[in-house]
Structure 1
């Protein structure tokens, strides 16, 4: 489970923003519970938040004000999270780390994320669909690269090769039609 620690100097306005729940890749709400792994003598944070929405199985952000001056404060944020995206976590974690360190104040999503915020289930489904896309792409490439050798081995002619590849292409068209129908049904 990734843990981020960000220490930065900020002005009073930025401090107030850090002490409020964020709404970008994750929607937060105040969390008044004490985590199990917190030492008993640890100072209480200025603010603590948990995820209400976002592609996380676990998410917690705490904000500690280390030094407070008139014009500037030294603030430490600690963020621990576990993404709900299976298989592709190794790829998405560095992107998520970057976004979680620098919150967006306009509520927009990063360029690499879907336009609408993912919930944990949508993150799981997206990860599985990406994996299936890679497998399907591999199988499609494997067929086109080995069909000539396979048909030579079985003494099949060019017409049989053409029929096989045509069946695969028709299957792609049927799959696209089913995706359109599923999209229409899903938007209702």
Structure 2
């Protein structure tokens, strides 16, 4: 009888430690997310520059995802499933939006004959090294998108193709749903 009570106490103590770790991690991530969203202090500014470097003008989506993750950790006290069908669809849509924004930048620079070489990564880094105000006005996607839109490797072309697939899939689904409603009406 005494052994069972000790085992229960040990299991309860271990569960409290695990719950406390998730709570603490959630609070830390939430604090960092709020600092970033509201530009609070050096921490907020540094995190904004970090997210802008990788995601460009759509950095706020990554910060909002960080806040949602922190709330999930505090409520559920477990890691979410990052690779479900819905989450993968969100990742693909977000990557498609980033890629579209960066292609607009590369297109506008190509029209103005301001590209140095064929590499989107090199051109994005060149813009990044210019004054930060220019970077914020010009670069719509960040370094993640520059890597997506790299033009020299065959794998990059496949990535660019597959990043655009969710948009084609959604438009096809919308057309099918409208066709269904038009047939069912008397």
TM interval, short-chain normalised:
under 0.3
- Rg (Cα) greater in structure: 1
| Structure with the larger strand share | 1
TM-score (norm 2): 0.26
